[in-house]
Amino acid sequence: MDDMTTPARTDETVPAGDGRDPNPIAAVSASSSLQRPRAANGRFVRLESAAETPPAAGDLPRDRFLDREISWLQFNERVLQLAADPDLPLLERARFLAIFASNLDEFFMVRVAGLKRRVATGLAVRSASGLEPRELLESIHTVAAELMRQHADVFHDLVAPALAQEQIQLVSFDDLSIEERTDLSQWFGDQVFPVLTPLAVDPSHPFPYISGLSLNLAVVLVNAKTGTEHFARVKVPPLLPRFVEVPADEGDEELYAARFVPLEEIIAAHLDMLFPGMAVREHFTFRVTRNEDLEVEEDDAENLLTALEKELTRRRFGPPVRLEVAQDMTDHVLKLLMRELSVSPKEVFRLATPLDLTGLNTVADLDRTELKYPAFVPRTHPDLARVESSKAANIMAAVRTQDVLVQHPYDSFSTSVQAFIEQAAADPKVLAIKQTLYRTSGDSPIIDALIDAAESGKQVLAVVEIKARFDEQNNIEWARKLEHAGVHVVYGVVGLKTHCKASLVVRQETDGLRRYCHLGTGNYHPKTARLYEDFGLFTCDPKVGEDLTKLFNQLSGWAPRSKYKRLLVAPRSLRSGLLECIDRQIEDAKNGRDAYVGIKVNSMVDETVIDALYRASQAGVRVEVLVRGICALRPRVPGLSENIEVRSILGRFLEHSRVFVFGPEGEAGVYIGSADMMHRNLDRRVETLVRIADQRHIDDLVELIGRGMSDETSSWHLTEEGRWHRHNRGPDGAPLTDLQSALISEHGRRRRRARTS
C-alpha cells in the first residue's frame, strides 16, 4: 500500500475516524511510509538508525539493515493494495481483504507475542535494524493500527460499494424487510439459539475466559425490577457461517443477487431471548488475539508427540496480545475488558465493524465466475506426458530418460508428485519409499499411498515435522495414522525442524537398484499446490540418490559426518555453500569478468548473507533479489548496494519457490530448494538446496528471475529508504505484464505444442 496516512499515537485508544485519510485510494497507492512510523512522543522512529548492535562488519555501515517486523507489515500492506486495486476481479479483492486479516492475526499471535514475551522476561535484545525491543514493539503497534484502519477503509469505501453494484451486499439486520427478519428470526431460534451460552459476570460468575480469535458480544444489561446494571458476554459460534446469506425472495429478478448479514448482528437482535426479564442497554463486538506460539523443548521431552499435544492444549490459554473493539464501544465497557484481559492501551484497536474480515472468504466463494480470475486447470508437464502407460504418465520411465523440472501450479501436482508416490506404492519392483512431510492434508492421497506401500510390504519411512506452525494437530493425527499402518515414522533431528522437501524411491531393475528422487521447494500438499508457486526436480542421478540416502539416514538414525555432492544441507553446509558461491562471483568481478547473483526467496533476513551481497555489490557484482515477503536488505545505497535491485511480486498465486543463480547467463550455476534466507532456515532447520544439472532447466530458471526483475513486469520496487513502490503501469499508462498470467498462457501453449509434436 504504499502511501499511508500518518499513524496515530499509540499511547491511547483512538476512535476510528480520527486522522483517517478521506481518500483511501490515494492512501494506499503511492509509496510506503511504514518505514518511519511516529513514536508515542510524535517524533519519527529511526528504523535505519546507527545502532550499537550488530557491529559493523569491516567497512559496512551500521545502519545497513531494515527492520524485519516492519518489513513484514509492509508485505501485508502490499496484499492490501491488491484488495484496493480496481483492475483486479472484485471477488478476488474481497479474498485479499480476508488474507490480509488472516496474515495480521498470525503476525500478532506469533511475532508480536514472541517479542512481548522476550521483553517481559528480559531476554529481548536490540534488533539488527537498531531498535530497542520496547521501541520496536511501539513501532509495530503504531504501524499495525494504521494498517487496520486502512483495511477497514478499503472494505467500506472501495470493496463493499463495488460489491453492491454487482448485487452482492453486506447489510444490517435492521435494513431487512419484515418478512426477511421473520425468516432469519426463525432460523436463529432453530439453528443459533440452542448453541449460544450467555455468560454473566457478577460475584458468583467470574469474568469468562475469552478464546483467541473468537468474536464476542459485550452486553450491558439492566434488571427491569431493581435497575441494577450487569455485564454479560456472548460468544459468536465459530462453526456457524460468519456472514449469513439472506434467502432470496421468490420471483427475485436478480438471479445473481446475494445479501449477507453478519452473524453477530442477528444474535444482537435477539438478545432479549437470551436474557428474559432484563433490558439490553447496549452491546458491542470485540475480539481477542492471544499468544499462540508453541514452546516445546525436545531435549526435555521423552516423547515429542505427547509433549506437543500437551502444549497445544496450553496454547488456548496464552496471554492476550491484541484487543479489537467496535469503534463505538463506550469507555466504561472498554475499561472493563482491558482490566479483565490485562491489555494495555497500546494493544487496543478501535475499528469499524464488522470485525474479523477473514469471514469475507464466504463472499469470495460465491459462484460468480465473471468476478473471479479466469478458470485455470494445471496441465501435465510435457516431459512426463511423453511417456504414458494406461493413459497415465509413467513418472519413473520419464525420469530414466532425463531430469524433469516441474513448476506448480502451472504443472499439475496430481500428475507429477502425487503420481510419483502413488506409482511407487503400486509398483511391485519398488522396495522402499522415504519421504519428508512438513505440511499436508489429512485426506492426502500421498498419505494413502504411503499406507498402501507399507501394507504391501515395502519399507516406508516418513520423516514427519509435527511442529509445523498451526498444522501441529493435523500432523499429529496423520502421523499416528501412518504409524498404525506400519510406516516407520520419525520426527527428525532433536532441536531442528525438518523443513526440506524430499522423496526417495528405491526400485529393483534389471541392472540393479535405481534410486528415483524428488526435491522440491514446496510441501507435499495437494491443496496448496494449486495455489503456491513452487518447483520440483525429478531425477535418478546416482549422485542425488546417494545424497538423499545419506540425508534420510541422518534424519532417521546417526550420520553426523555425511558429505554431499549435489546438495547443500542446513544447518551444516547451506549458508557456507551459498557464501562460497557469492565469493566466487566477487572474485570474478575483481578479475574483470561478468558476475551475477540472482535470488528468489520468500524472505531475505540473514545478516551474514546480506553482508555477502553488500560486498558483492561493492565489488561490482550485479545482484537481483526477488522477494515475496520480508526483506532486511537495503538496495541502491551509494557505496554499499548500488548494484543491488530488490523487487516483489504478489498476485493470484503465492510465490513460494526458492531459486539461487550464480554467474552470468550461459555460465550460471543454479540451485532450488526449501530454504529462505532467515536465521531459522539456516541455523535451526534441516533444509536442502539441489544443484540443477540440465542446461534447459538452468536456462528456464535464469529466465524466470530475469522476467521477475524486468521493468516490463508488474512488481513492487524497494528503495534505499526501505519504501516499496508499486510499478504496474508503463510510461504510457498501459498495464505492465502480469507474470503469473503470462506463465499460465505459456505453459498451456507448451503442452499443446508437445501434444502435436
Give the domain ranges of the chain.
24-157, 168-371, 382-563, 569-756
At 45, is the pLDDT very low, low, confident or very high (cuts 50, 70, 90)? very low
Residue 509 DSSP one-character state = E
Coil/strand/helix, residue 148 = helix
Q: Which of 318-332, 704-718, 739-753 has the lowest mean pLDDT?
A: 739-753
pLDDT digits (tens, 9 = 90+) for 581-593: 999 999 999 999 9
For residues 570 and 576, what is the distance between their CA atoms, to the nearest angstrom?
Answer: 9
With a cut of 70, say whether residue 639 has pLDDT above it. Answer: yes
The C-alpha cell 569478468 sits at: 593
Percent of the chain with pLDDT over 70: 83
At 507, is the pLDDT very low, low, confident or very high (cuts 50, 70, 90)? very high
With a cut of 50, say whether residue 207 has pLDDT above it. Answer: yes
Q: Which of 258-262, 449-453, 494-498 has the lowest mean pLDDT?
A: 494-498
pLDDT at 130: 85
pLDDT digits (tens, 9 = 90+) for 208-220: 889 899 999 999 9
With a cut of 70, say whether residue 442 has pLDDT above it. Answer: no
pLDDT at 659: 98
Q: In terms of CATH, what superfamily is 168-371?
A: Polyphosphate kinase middle domain (3.30.1840.10)
pLDDT at 119: 83
Mean pLDDT of 118-127: 81
Class of the domain covering 382-563:
alpha beta
Coil/strand/helix, residue 137 = helix
Q: At what angle do helices 695-709 and 739-756 cross, to 10 degrees?
A: 150
For residues 548 and 537, what is the distance between their CA atoms, to the nearest angstrom?
Answer: 13
With a cut of 50, say whether residue 38 has pLDDT above it. Answer: no
What predicted TM-score, i.e. pTM, was given to this entire model? 0.88
Q: Which of 71-85, 139-153, 452-466, 704-718 has the lowest mean pLDDT?
A: 452-466
pLDDT digits (tens, 9 = 90+) for 310-339: 544 544 557 899 999 999 999 999 999 999
Percent of the chain with pLDDT over 90: 67
For residues 314 and 295, what is the distance between their CA atoms, to the nearest angstrom?
Answer: 10
With a cut of 50, say whether residue 4 has pLDDT above it. Answer: no
Q: Which of 452-466, 589-603, 688-702 has the lowest mean pLDDT?
A: 452-466
At 368, is the pLDDT very low, low, confident or very high (cuts 50, 70, 90)? very high
Kindly name the residue from 151, 381, 408, 499 that is annotated as catalytic: 499
Q: In terms of CATH, what superfamily is 24-157?
A: Polyphosphate kinase N-terminal domain (1.20.58.310)
Widest Cα–Cα separation across the chain: 92
With a cut of 50, say whether residue 41 has pLDDT above it. Answer: no
Strands (E), 308-409: 320-326, 348-351, 388-389, 392-393, 404-408
The continuous run of DSSP H or E covering 460 comes out as strand 459-464
With a cut of 70, say whether residue 418 has pLDDT above it. Answer: yes
For residues 289 and 347, what is the distance between their CA atoms, to the nearest angstrom?
Answer: 10
State the Cα torsion 91-92-93-96 to the nearest 10°. 130
pLDDT digits (tens, 9 = 90+) for 225-245: 888 899 999 999 999 999 999
With a cut of 70, say whether residue 452 has pLDDT above it. Answer: yes
pLDDT digits (tens, 9 = 90+) for 540-550: 999 999 999 99
Domain 569-756 coded CATH 3.30.870.10: yes
- The reply to whether domains 382-563 and 569-756 share a CATH topology is yes
Mean pLDDT of 680-698: 95
- Cis amide prior to 354 (ω within 30 degrees): yes
pLDDT at 711: 96
pLDDT at 40: 37
Mean pLDDT of 696-709: 97
Q: What's the mean per-residue pLDDT of the chain?
A: 86
With a cut of 90, say whether residue 148 has pLDDT above it. Answer: yes
At 560, is the pLDDT very low, low, confident or very high (cuts 50, 70, 90)? low
**Other residues' Cβ atoms within 10 Å of the Cβ of residue 649:** 22
With a cut of 90, say whether residue 298 has pLDDT above it. Answer: no
At 721, is the pLDDT very low, low, confident or very high (cuts 50, 70, 90)? very high
pLDDT at 651: 96
For residues 38 and 7, what is the distance between their CA atoms, to the nearest angstrom?
Answer: 7
Higher-confidence position of 410 and 132: 410
Mean pLDDT of 687-701: 97
With a cut of 50, say whether residue 6 has pLDDT above it. Answer: no
**Other residues' Cβ atoms within 10 Å of the Cβ of residue 523:** 24
Work out the angle at residue 118's Cα, subtended by the Cα atoms of residues 115 and 120, and round it to the nearest 5 degrees: 110
With a cut of 60, say whether residue 411 has pLDDT above it. Answer: yes
CA proximity to 604, closest of 76, 68, 75: 68
pLDDT at 349: 97
Mean pLDDT of 446-462: 93
Residue 6 DSSP one-character state = P
Residue 283 annotated as catalytic: no
